[in-house]
Amino acid sequence: MLTIFLISLVSIIFIHQLYKYAVDRPEGFPPGPPRLPLFGSYLFMLLINHNYLHKAVLSLSKWYKSDIVGLYVGKFRVAVVHNGEGVRELLNNQACDGRPALYLSRMRDPGDGVRGIFFQEGLLWKEQRRFILRFLRDYGFGRRFDQLEMVINEEITDMIDLIRNGPRYEHEHLLVKPGGYRIQLPMFFNPFSANSHFSIVYNERIPRAEMANVVKLVQLGLQFQRNADDYGRLLSIIPWIRHIFPETSGYKKLNESNQYIYKFFADFVDRHIETYDESCERNFLDLYIAEMKKELPEEYGFNREQFIMGLVDFSLPAFTGLGVQLAMIVQYLMIYPEVAKRIQHEIDEVVGSGRLPTLEDRDKMPYTEATIRENLRMETLVPSDVPHKALEDTELMGYRIPKDTVVLASLYAMHSDKRIWKDPENFRPERFLDDDGKLCLKKDVSLPFGAGKRLCAGETFARNLLFLMTTAMLQNFDYTLAPGDSLPDVSKNESGLIISPPDFWVQLKER
Ligand code: HEM
């Protein structure tokens, strides 16, 4: 009798503790699903929509009738914001400018110390971001700069030559089929955007013949982006899973990518450190090395390892994300040929065919600009933004957010919110134009590059390149379907750290 009583008592206490664990949340924390031991609410999210976690969390937000939901991913307490005001409030709240130490961020660094820009916070992040942005600007990053525009023009000329004449070097076979006019996306644009960016950082362009390493870098960069998710997959929750399931956990591919990317930039950095001569400033790297030689406080982070990871972070989006967004623009131009025709009309009027489009033309081409903006809204490259973290106890949308909570701004939810866009499901560049057909920036309340102090550091560079490459392509070519091809299906675009279309080949025709 006593035994039965004791077993019942222990069971009741156990069930009570389990129940408390599942539903307990800090006072004033946003509503959300219960949590399971070890996994938190992550398994529920996988069950709701394992392909698109940002959609799964949006479903939870609807389920709980709250634009902000609170949940657990493993041991991480998370709050996700789903409406325009909330997203702005979060991104402009400096108490939310931290970054969580997800396993994904640690594993990029062979020293297992979180360095770089993306996953840094505090003084080191501030100093590094400020320094890099300040001095990359001297070489044309984030502003109008004739020399850089000439380099981009040369890159685009090479790109068009590659389309017309087909691959000249082995590594170009990954980009274009022999005979030309058939390109592989989303790979194709990335080596050219990467090289434009490298010319800012190194003050030199890598010649086409020597681009094999860059093409490999792009491949592995895409592999990294595709094998993660908004929360760093199960690896963030149970990092030891990598020893048991190195393939299915994504670890093997992520690790292969990280190692190649790190070595690529480490080689550059080391070569520059070895040949550094303080009497001759060759490029941005020399400015950074000069800073390393000053005896600055350690917290500022001017050392070799931070240098490498800072470069990785400032370059990764240029050799992955940019080309992916361009590929998604191509998808829409193929699905909506009338939009492509209208852009071509604008190009013919403003640029003609005797020269490539320049940034000078951009203001005069509102429909083109509106199309790019509409694509950035509908195919939000970073749907859950890069995760932020509360650096101290704070508030969001009237809820209490304790220190160390991971806070996510669902740019996807904001960009597909009927309350903001009325018909978010329709691709309609006109929504950003006024009655006279002029671009009306007030109507573009989308935030594809985030906002606040953590705003994308490459926004201007990215917008410039999206314009220059999209228009150069449409000036010269039509996107068509070869026999056996079908129109892109954007519902098959895959979710990783960024959204990206599966590899596909596109047929071009001379205009
Ligand atoms: C279409 C292209 C791009 C899109 C849509 C995009 C979007 C974003 C977003 C949403 C963030 C996170 C902002 C936040 O944490 O709240 C971000 C961060 C960042 N982006 Fe971009 N990006 C693009 C291209 C680029 C390029 C080309 C570069 C550099 C060459 C770049 C450099 C960065 C850096 C360094 C950060 C981290 C900022 C920080 O943590 O302080 N991005 N980007």
Q: What are 183's strand-pairing partners?
A: 176, 506
Q: What is the token pair recorded at 261?
A: 């990317």
pLDDT of the residue at 12: 87
The answer to whether position 4 is within a domain reads: no
The answer to whether position 27 is within a domain reads: no
**How many angstroms from the chain centroid is the CA of residue 192?**
18
Over range 31-39, report the average pLDDT.
Answer: 93
User: What Cα–Cα distance (Å) separates residue 293 from each residue in 297, 301, 487?
Assistant: 12, 12, 55
Is the separation of the CB atoms in 397 and 91 below 8 Å? Answer: no
pLDDT of the residue at 507: 98
CATH of the domain at 310: 1.10.630.10
Residue nearest to atom 12 of ligand 1 (CA): 386
Over range 46-64, report the average pLDDT.
Answer: 96
Over range 440-455, report the average pLDDT.
Answer: 97
The answer to whether position 477 is within a domain reads: yes
Q: What is the token pair recorded at 22?
A: 């599942």
Mutate to test the pocket of ligand 1, among 449, 453, 468, 500 (most ligand atoms within 8 A of CB): 449
Between 102 and 498, the higher pLDDT residue:
498
Over range 388-398, report the average pLDDT.
Answer: 98
Residue nearest to atom 34 of ligand 1 (CA): 457
Over range 63-68, report the average pLDDT.
Answer: 98
The answer to whether position 478 is within a domain reads: yes
Q: For residues 300 and 311, give the distance between their C-alpha atoms in angstroms, rounded to a whole number.
A: 16
The answer to whether position 397 is within a domain reads: no
Task: Specify the range with the lowest mean pLDDT, choosing from 121-125, 295-299, 412-416, 424-428.
Answer: 295-299
Domain enclosing residue 346, as ranges: 124-385+434-510
- Ligand 1 atom closest to 387 (CA): 15
When divided into structural domains, the chain yields a total of: 1
The residue ranges of DSSP E strands in 199-320, in sequence order, are: none
Residue nearest to atom 25 of ligand 1 (CA): 458
Is the separation of the CB atoms in 74 and 232 below 8 Å? Answer: no
The alpha carbon of 164 and the centre of ligand 1 are apart by a number of angstroms equal to 32
pLDDT of the residue at 402: 98
Q: What residues line ligand 1, using a CB cutoff of 6 Å?
A: 91, 117-118, 129, 197, 313-314, 317-318, 321-322, 325, 381-382, 385-386, 448-450, 454, 456-458, 461-462
The answer to whether position 344 is within a domain reads: yes
Residue 112 has pLDDT above 80, yes or no: no
What confidence tier does 92 reach under pLDDT thresholds 50, 70, 90? very high
The answer to whether position 377 is within a domain reads: yes
pLDDT of the residue at 114: 80
Residue-wise pLDDT tens digits, 459-486: 999 999 999 999 999 999 999 999 999 9
User: What Cα–Cα distance (Å) separates residue 110 from each residue in 153, 253, 266?
Assistant: 37, 15, 11
Q: What percent of the chain has pLDDT over 90?
A: 86
Mutate to test the pocket of ligand 1, among 120, 456, 461, 498 (most ligand atoms within 8 A of CB): 456
Q: pTM for the whole thing?
A: 0.96
What confidence tier does 108 reach under pLDDT thresholds 50, 70, 90? confident
Over range 441-467, report the average pLDDT.
Answer: 97
The alpha carbon of 230 and the centre of ligand 1 are apart by a number of angstroms equal to 15
Phi, psi of 489 (to 5 degrees): -115, 100
- Ligand 1 atom closest to 462 (CA): 27
The alpha carbon of 179 and the centre of ligand 1 are apart by a number of angstroms equal to 36
Residue nearest to atom 9 of ligand 1 (CA): 449
pLDDT of the residue at 372: 98
Residue-wise pLDDT tens digits, 125-169: 999 999 999 999 988 898 889 989 999 999 999 999 999 999 999
Cis geometry, peptide bond prior to residue 186 (ω within 30 degrees of 0): yes
The alpha carbon of 379 and the centre of ligand 1 are apart by a number of angstroms equal to 15
The alpha carbon of 295 and the centre of ligand 1 are apart by a number of angstroms equal to 30
What confidence tier does 1 reach under pLDDT thresholds 50, 70, 90? confident
User: What Cα–Cα distance (Å) separates residue 248 from each residue in 235, 278, 495?
Assistant: 10, 48, 16
The answer to whether position 65 is within a domain reads: no
Over range 116-131, report the average pLDDT.
Answer: 94
Q: For residues 401 and 404, give the distance between their C-alpha atoms in angstroms, rounded to a whole number.
A: 9
* 440 annotated as a binding-site residue: no
pLDDT of the residue at 2: 79
Is the separation of the CB atoms in 173 and 165 below 8 Å? Answer: no
Residue nearest to atom 31 of ligand 1 (CA): 458
Residue-wise pLDDT tens digits, 209-237: 999 999 999 999 999 999 998 888 899 89
pLDDT of the residue at 19: 79
Over range 103-122, report the average pLDDT.
Answer: 88
